[in-house]
Amino acid sequence: MAQPRLFLTAAIIGYLLFFLLTHPKSLIHRKLPELKIRWLQIFPVVTVTISGKIIHIHHWLGFSIILVVSIFFDTGVLSYLFTKGILSGGIIQGLFTPKSFKLIYKKE
């Protein structure tokens, strides 16, 4: 009975954490440094710039891939239920953002 509570607690923590880290109006999000190498930005968001277009890899998309991989390769940090809860919370939070399904933007 403790396992569902652990997963739910981790999912709530993941939701709140990624709300604070990714919401554009969040003070924490605005203070995060950028890590960009030419056409690839990997922090605080993952974007690839190609031919005047920006491809934004949303955190919910990356977390979904990691969560699916963790089902097949249940080793290391990915084997923890808490990790899967954090990933699930991040996915849920990402899906509820206004532009969550827009992946390609025009470069300004």
Q: Does the pLDDT at position 108 exceed 90?
A: no
The string of DSSP codes covering 38-100 is: TTEEEESSEEEEETTEEEEE-HHHHHHHHHHHHHH---GGGG-HHHHHHHHHHHHHHHTSTTT
Domain ranges of the chain: 2-106
Question: Per residue in 44-102, pLDDT tens?
Answer: 889 999 998 999 999 999 999 999 999 888 888 888 999 999 999 999 999 998 888 88
What average pLDDT does range 12-34 have in this prediction?
89
What average pLDDT does range 13-21 have in this prediction?
94
Q: Does the pLDDT at position 10 exceed 60?
A: yes
Q: Considering the entire predicted model, what is its pTM? A: 0.86
pLDDT of residue 22: 86
> CB under 8 Å to 9, separation ≥6 — which residues?
85
Q: Does the pLDDT at position 1 exceed 70?
A: no
pLDDT of residue 5: 93
pLDDT of residue 25: 82
